[in-house]
Amino acid sequence: MASADVVIIGGGITGLTAAYEAHRRGVRPIVLEASPRTGGLIATEHVDGFTIEAGPDSILAQKRAALDLVRELGLGDQILQVRPPGGAFVLSGSRLFRLPSPSRLGLPLTWRALAGYNLLPWPARVRMAMEPLVRARRSQDDESIGSFFRRRFGASTVDLIAQPLLGGIHAGDIERLSMRALFPRLLDAEQSRGRVLEMRGADAADPQQPPADVGFRSLRDGMSALVRAIEQHLPETSIRRSSPADRLERTASGWRVASGGDAFEARAVIVAAPAFVAARLFAPLDDEASRLCAEVPYVSTASVALAWPRPAIAHPLAGTGFVVARRVSDVRITACTWVSSKWTHRAPDDVALLRAFIGGAHDPGVVDLDDEEIARIARTDLQRVLGIGAAPVLTRVYRWRNAGAQHQVGQLARVAAIEGRLARHPGLLVAGSGFRSVGIPDCIADARAAAARCTIAG
């Protein structure tokens, strides 16, 4: 039997950050990680001069928690900024349309950008221009992304903007994903200003010079550098790999977590594993908490890294990549990041590293295909879209089964209800992507807050 002040279940970015924050506050953590590897969805591979991300590759700068932690851990000099030109494209039919500049989440920020939005047919641009005149919805209830876009910007924007750009980030179904959980600022804009489009003066934004605190960042050695740096700040014995938590019990002074033949006691437990794992662990303790956790669906995806000699690709790759407007295109991939256009230090000179994504809510079966078939689909789609004649010089397939939490309509109310139930079980907390957090910065902020609560409770 080992004891600590807090047992943290899950060694992804949430669990590791919670451990780091607990340790920083003088609270002894033990992290139980089911797999032999920590980092969860964060996994970087260095191979033949390439730095390849299997999962996340970027950090949103506006949400400060992640970059604050990066600097606190001494990795400030590793921060990379997306290289200009930063634009992304949408594949519609067999054509790539550059998103207008300036724009955010596919929404133009100037009238000129809207006028030049050639992904949208003219009537759709006119309808979008009328958005400020659309009456604001009175209800504060949550709503799907699809419903919000249909209402505010017109039906054409649902398939051409909302699905590829907003749904694509989450590999999800926009008719189910929650506006309140995922894009609260757009909802808030409607409620507070009565409009969502926020047009600036024509010369307000220079897309070549994004403001210092917005946009995406990465780390020179890959996102796993963040995971390693956190681990280096923790006592060696505080991380137990290949140690899945399989039972959670109340004791007189706190909690006991069983993992295989081992048991770990602590006064607090943070569950930083997927919500379906929380559902299993809570089942003997609290039916309702377990049922609510089980309601959070997950999707499976795969990412495929492919590299070609730069001259083999006809497309100039001047941008960050493209997303696919699924209903109006016939490729099976959902998006492609032009890694070596976006970041320095990712591929040898004169080689283009690309990353294609496949699967998600609309194509759940694809991750069951073998690696060769998944790679073939990605390769063929990219060869067609980008005009590539040659065979790739590198191919890597990474599968993420049941890994993408879907924050569907009602997610925030569901999490509030889960937290309400857990309040009956002092010292038991949840954190991470299955609950309130969307992306790495949120996971980090959530983890630090959970660890702080353990300190206060102690």
Ligand X SMILES: Cc1cc2nc3c(=O)[nH]c(=O)nc-3n(C[C@H](O)[C@H](O)[C@H](O)COP(=O)(O)OP(=O)(O)OC[C@H]3O[C@@H](n4cnc5c(N)ncnc54)[C@H](O)[C@@H]3O)c2cc1C
Q: What angle do CA 192, 194, 199 make, to 5 degrees?
A: 100
Site membership for ligand X, residue 11 (CB under 6 A): yes
Return the number of the residue (226 or 325) whose C-beta is nearest ligand X.
226
Number of residues binding to ligand X, judged by CB under 6 A: 35
422 binds ligand X (CB under 6 A): no
Residue among 146 and 439 whose Cβ is closer to ligand X: 439
> Minimum distance between the CB of residue 22 and ligand X, rounded to whole angstroms?
15
Among the listed residues 303, 334, 406, 411, the single contact to ligand X using CB under 6 A = 303
Question: Which listed range, 7-15, 137-145, 247-255, 290-298, lies at the site for ligand X (CB under 6 A)?
Answer: 7-15
- Binding part of the chain for ligand X, among 196-204, 319-327, 396-404, 416-424 by CB under 6 A, reads 396-404
238: contact with ligand X by CB under 6 A: no
Phi then psi for residue 105, to 5 deg, are: 55, 35
Binding-site member from 44, 51, 58, 103 for ligand X (CB under 6 A):
58
Q: For ligand X, which is the closer residue by CB, 190 or 446?
A: 446
User: Does position 440 bind ligand X by CB under 6 A?
Assistant: yes
Site for ligand X contains 9 (CB under 6 A) = yes
Binding mask 18-37 for ligand X (x = CB under 6 A): --------------xxxx--
Q: SS in 3 state form for the chain?
A: CEECCEEEECCEHHHHHHHHHHHHCCCCEEEECCCCCCECCCCEEEECCEEEECCCCCEECCCCHHHHHHHHCCCHHHEEECCCCCCEEEEECCEEEECCCCEECCEECCHHHHHCCCCCCHHHHHHHHCHHHCCCCCCCCCCEHHHHHHHHHCCHHHHHHHHHHHHHHCCCCCCCEEHHHHCHHHHHHHHHHCCCCCCCCCCCCCCCCCCCCCCEEEECCCCHHHHHHHHHCCCHHHEECCCCCCEEEECCCCEEEEECCEEEEECEEEECCCHHHHHHHHCCCCHHHHHHHHCCCEEEEEEEEEEEEHHHECCCCCCCEEEECHHHCCCCCCEEECHHHHCCCCCCCCEEEEEEEEECCCCHHHHHCCHHHHHHHHHHHHHHHHCECCCCCEEEEEEEEEEEECCECCHHHHHHHHHHHHCCCCCEEECCCCCCCCCHHHHHHHHHHHHHHHHHHC
Residue span binding ligand X (CB under 6 A) among the ranges 144-152, 182-190, 224-232, 432-440: 432-440
From 89-97, 103-111, 229-237, 397-405, give the range in contact with ligand X by CB under 6 A: 397-405
Q: Does 341 bind ligand X (CB under 6 A)?
A: no
**Minimum CB separation from ligand X for residue 42, in Å?**
5
Task: Please tell me whether residue 172 binds ligand X under the rule CB under 6 A.
Answer: no
Stretch that binds ligand X, among 8-16, 172-180, 201-209, 282-290 (CB under 6 A): 8-16
Does position 42 interact with ligand X (CB under 6 A)? The reply is: yes
Residues numbered 241-280 forming contacts with ligand X, rule: CB under 6 A: 244-245, 272-274, 277
- Binding segment toward ligand X, per CB under 6 A, in 39-47, 132-140, 156-164, 283-291: 39-47
* 120, 124, 129, 443: residue in contact with ligand X (rule CB under 6 A): 443
Among 4, 7, 43, 56, binds ligand X (CB under 6 A): 56
Instruction: Please give the residue ranges that form the binding site for ligand X (CB under 6 A).
Output: 9-15, 32-35, 40-42, 55-59, 244-245, 272-274, 277, 301, 303, 400, 403-404, 432-433, 439-440, 443
